[in-house]
Amino acid sequence: MSTVGNSTNIFWQESPIGKTERQKLLNQKGCVVWITGLSGSGKSTLACSLSRELNNRGKLSYILDGDNLRHGLNKDLGFKAEDRVENIRRVGEVAKLFADAGLICIASLISPYRKDRDACREMIQNSSFIEASYSKPGFTVCNPHSVGS
């Protein structure tokens, strides 16, 4: 038994199908591509282009767009510092699940605090986390790794 929050009866349920089996089925390794940048910098456009190219190469991806997530999962959050921290934490947790499922998860959102991105990198295996800081007209890959290999 573990303690999560105030509950004392929450258990982690292991899946009978492991990450390796899912990756073999999809013929790809799950990972997170974290695209960060200022509002209007083109993060979503880059995410969509990357997703299209991966699809063209037979790779399964999913975009977690910051604005889209604020319509649902994060609609209860504002833009104060503590809300931004929680926003990034939630996106990181979802991205972690997608990567574990074998998908190439493209997270595209304003994430201004390095410590929050580092926390996401820690919850996701470092080799499965690729960070790119995007601003017109170019971008910088902060943690280059082979995507989807």
Q: H-helix or E-strand containing 35?
A: strand 31-36
DSSP string, 63-95: EEEHHHHTTTTTTT--SSHHHHHHHHHHHHHHH
Active site residue 111: yes
> Of these residues, 61, 111, 146, 149, which one is catalytic?
111
Query: What's the CA gap between 66 and 40, in Å, rounded?
Result: 12
Work out the number of other CB atoms within 10 angstroms of the CB of residue 124. 23
Q: Which residues are catalytic?
A: 111
